[in-house]
Structure 1
């Protein structure tokens, strides 16, 4: 089986994490969805740039009731989507807390991470500007994408972008390990 990469969906409740995941997994939009405790999805043999890979997606609860298990989720993730609603300023502000929690657990600024503004199809109701979101992403040194779980706009692109970041980081770590092993074999006479 191909290598499996674990993606963790984080963000406040009701921002569309589950809707984005279901749109990616099954190409369907579920309007009335029950609040998530934590759902897991697997996609095997996904074609990314001509290579077959596996994806595990953990769709976490947005509510803080589940904070006790949150750190274990975060520790297991290879990459993260931090999703907020373009229609709710508070969910945008709360992305800082999610980012801080992930960095606290991973202790690594280079953890693959994408800031995602969802519900971009609802332009009339938008309250978070693209400039503000891009500014935050730039300050974090991460990509920013706007998605619509309803229309599927940028959903597949977001997953592919995050998977490329995950694979690049894993390849960099493998190369560092090889270099480290080679250095150990060096003998000075």
Structure 2
């Protein structure tokens, strides 16, 4: 079974964990708990073939920067999260995107799978 690694990244408090938990088990997180690193696995079917998706829910961009470089190198794709209510979190995504490009091999390859997610607190 093919294993894919996906890193969920963005500033602290933008909803990375809530998005990840919702995708994995369909439930909502009702409180914010500071994440250092959480890993989840979910079996999926892609092109009629079973695969395993490992999702790494990372700490905020500003925390544990050296770990983020390691997560970037090991990930096949990225979910980049920002808050619609905080413009600076979107600006941080621009810097994060450049960091991803800088850490992926080969360096000139800008065909890295990324999804941009804007979240809002209700």
RMSD: 1.5
Q: TM-score, normalised by structure 1?
A: 0.60
Q: CA deviation at 1:47?
A: 2.3
Name the count of aligned residue pairs.
119
CA distance in 1, matches of 2:10, 2:21: 16
CA distance in 2, matches of 1:48, 1:14: 31
Aligned to 1:22: 21
Return 5+ residue gaps in structure 2 as ranges: none
- Which residues in structure 2 correspond to 1:29-40 (within 5 Å)? 29-40=28-39
- Larger relative contact order (Cα-Cα within 8 Å, sequence gap ≥ 6): 2
Higher helix residue share: 1
Distance 2:48 2:63 in 1: 41
> Is the 2:80–2:116 contact (alpha carbons within 8 Å) kept by the matching residues of 1?
yes
Select the residue among 58, 64, 67 that pairs with 2:65: 67
Q: For structure 1, which segment, 85-94 or 9-18, has the greater mean C-alpha deviation from structure 2 after superposition?
A: 85-94
Q: Structure 1 residue aligned with 2:48, among 50, 72, 76? A: 50
Which one has a larger percent strand, Structure 1 or Structure 2? 2
User: TM-score, normalised to structure 2's length?
Assistant: 0.90
Runs (4+) of structure 1 exceeding 4 A deviation are none
Question: Over residues 166-188 of structure 1, what are the superposed CA-to-partner deviations in whole Å (9 max), with x where a residue is unaligned?
Answer: xxxxxxxxxxxxxxxxxxxxxxx
Structure number with greater Rg is: 1
Counterpart pick for 2:82 among 54, 60, 84: 84
